[in-house]
Amino acid sequence: MKKFFAYITVFCLQIFYSQSVTQNLDKAVQSLLASSPMYSGNLSFYVADESGNFVYEYQGNKGLSTASTMKIFTAAAALETLGKNYQYKTQIALDKNLYIFSNGDPTLGSWRYDGYKPEHFISKIIETLKSRNIKEIPGDLVIDDTYFDFQKIPGGWPYNDIGNYYGAGVWGVNWRENQFDINTFGKDFKNFNINLESVHFVNDARTEGTSDRSIIFTTPYNDVAHVTGTLPAKNITISGATPNPPKQLALEMVAELKKQNIAFNGKIIINSERLIEGQNPLVFPKNKVILEYLSPTLDKMVFWFLKKSINFYGETFVKTMAKEKTGNSSFEIGMKYLKNFWKQRGIDERMINFVDGSGLSPQNYASTRAEVLALIWAKKQPWFAEYFEGFPVQGNDMKMKSGSIKDCRAFAGYHTSKSGQKYVFAIIMNNYQANDLSDALYKVLNHLK
C-alpha cells in the first residue's frame, strides 16, 4: 500500500510539474509574440517528451525557414543511409601521368582531424613515390574531380554568401574544406594561409567598427575575389571559399614534388576544367592505383558538421547519398532523396521543403513538429550517441543545434530538466527584427530547465 501511495504521489507531482511548465511556456511565448520586434514575425514551437508525447505547441505545423537546424535532418539521414563507419576514398594512380581521384571526401586536407591534415595527405603520396624509387613524373598531374556532377553550389544560396567560407561549394576532389584564410589588420591584408596564385583580389574593405562585417564575393572557377564591408582595427582572420579547390591541391602537390627533388615539368590538368573547355575528361587508370587514402569515419564528420555547423559537409553528404542510392549526384536528386527519407519515417511531406542540406538557403522550410519527430526517431537509432555528441551547448547551457540567418533564429535539441524530465524540442523565429535573437528564444526555452 505504501508503494501504491508513493507511486500516486510521484504521478501527481509529475502532472503538476508538467502543467506548470506548460503554463510558463505559454506565458513566455505570449510575451515574445507581444514584443515590438515580433510585429510582423513568425514563431513555431513544439515540445515533446522523449517518447514523443505532446507537451507544448505553438503553431507547430507551420513551416518556417530553418537556418542551420536543417542539419539535424541531413546528419541523421547520412548516418542511417551511409553508416557511421562510412569512409570516403581518394586514390592515386601513376602511368606516365600522376592522377588524383576522390569520391568527394570533404575532409581531404582538413585541419580538424589528427593524422589527416594537408601535409599528411601530400606526404603519403611522396612516401609512396619514393618507396617505388620514382624520381620523375614524366607526364602531367591530373586531378580527376568528376565523381560528382558539375554543379558545385545549391541553387537556393544567396549570392553574397557563396564567396565566404560558409558558402564553399562541393567538388569531386575537395581540399582544405575548400576554404582559405586572410590575416588582416583593419582593411589591410597581412598574409594568406595558402598561396592562391591564380586568384586576383580586389580589396574594397574599410576599417570601421569593432567586429568583422566583411563579405567576400567570388564564385567557382572565378579568378577574381572581391572583398568589401568593414573590418576592425585589430588582428583578425577572415575566411573565403576557394574558387578552384582541385587546382589549389595540384599547385601544392607540384610545389612539394619539386621540394622533394622529384622532377616534374608537365602541366596541371583538372578534369572539370576540360569540361568547361569542351574537352573530354582524362580517364583515371584504375589498374594503375598506387595508393588508397581513406577519410575519417562518417561519425567524426557528423560531429564537426553539427558542432561547427559546416555547410560544406552537409552539401557533400547530400551529393554522396544521392550518388550512392541513385547513381545521380545532383542537388535536385539529393533533395528528393532526403525528403522521401523523412516521409518514409512518418513525417508529413507538407511539413518539410528542402532546398539544401545545410540550411544556408532561406528557401528551406520545416515545421518544428517535423524537427521534433526527426529528433525522436534519431534517438531510437544505434548511432544516436555519435549524433547527440555533436549537438553544441548554447549560451543558455542547453545542448541543442542552433540556426541563424538574417532575422531568423532557431534551436532544436534535447534537454533533461532538473526534475529529470526529458524533453525534445524545436523553436524557430523568422523576421524577428532586433539584435537579441538568441536571447529572445533563450527566455522561452529556459522554462524547460
Do residues 46 and 163 share a domain? no
Residue 2 belongs to a domain: no
Residue 386 belongs to a domain: yes
Percent of the chain scoring above 70 in pLDDT: 96
Do residues 370 and 401 share a domain? yes
DSSP codes joined into one string, 290-315? EEEEEPPPHHHHHHHHHHTT-HHHHH
Residue 7 belongs to a domain: no
Do residues 59 and 111 share a domain? no
Do residues 291 and 311 share a domain? no
How is residue 211 annotated by DSSP?
S
Task: Give the tens place of pLDDT for each residue, 63-94.
Answer: 999 999 999 999 999 999 999 999 999 999 99
For residues 18 and 20, give the distance between their C-alpha atoms in angstroms, rounded to a whole number. 5
The residues near 263 (Cβ < 8 Å, ≥ 6 apart) are 135, 136, 137, 257
Do residues 169 and 278 share a domain? yes
Global pTM value: 0.94
pLDDT band, very low/low/confident/very high, at 436 (cuts 50, 70, 90):
confident
Do residues 408 and 442 share a domain? yes
Residue 437: predicted pLDDT: 83
Residue 197: predicted pLDDT: 83
Measured distance between the N- and C-terminal CA atoms of the chain, rounded to whole angstroms: 33
Of 296, 313, 337, the domain-final residue: 296
Picking from 84, 98, 103, the residue whose alpha carbon sits closest to that of residue 139 is 98
Do residues 102 and 249 share a domain? yes
Residue 8 belongs to a domain: no
Q: Average of pLDDT values for 23-29?
A: 94
Is a pLDDT exceeding 90 seen at residue 429? yes
Do residues 262 and 363 share a domain? no
Contact 204, 228 (CB under 8 A): yes
Is a pLDDT exceeding 80 seen at residue 6? no
Residue 9: predicted pLDDT: 43
Question: How many structural domains are present in the chain?
Answer: 2
Q: Average of pLDDT values for 155-184?
A: 97
Residue 433 belongs to a domain: yes
Is a pLDDT exceeding 60 seen at residue 22? yes
Of 296, 329, 359, the domain-final residue: 296
Residue type, 29: V
Q: Average of pLDDT values for 337-353?
A: 97
User: In terms of residue numbers, what domain contains 347?
Assistant: 19-83+300-448
Residue 209 belongs to a domain: yes
Is a pLDDT exceeding 70 seen at residue 4? no
Do residues 111 and 241 share a domain? yes
Q: Report the relative pairing of strands 263-264 and 224-231 from DSSP bridges.
A: unpaired
Do residues 202 and 247 share a domain? yes
Percent of the chain scoring above 90 in pLDDT: 91
Q: In the structure grid, which three cell numbers stand for residue 261, read together?
A: 627533388
Do residues 313 and 395 share a domain? yes
> Residue 341: in which H helix or E strand, if any?
helix 331-343
Q: In the structure grid, which three cell numbers stand for residue 420, read together?
A: 529529470
Residue 14 belongs to a domain: no
CATH number of the domain where residue 368 is located: 3.40.710.10
Residue 130 belongs to a domain: yes
Q: Report the relative pairing of strands 365-366 and 64-65 from DSSP bridges.
A: antiparallel
Is a pLDDT exceeding 90 seen at residue 394? yes
- Three-state DSSP class for residue 234: coil
| Residue 432 backbone dihedrals phi, psi, to 5 degrees | -90, 110
Of 296, 321, 336, the domain-final residue: 296
Q: Where are the beta strands (DSSP E) in 263-355?
A: 263-264, 268-270, 289-294, 352-353
Task: Give the tens place of pLDDT for each residue, 245-304.
Answer: 999 999 999 999 999 999 999 999 999 999 999 999 999 999 999 999 999 999 999 999
Do residues 255 and 371 share a domain? no
Mean of all residue pLDDT scores within the chain? 94
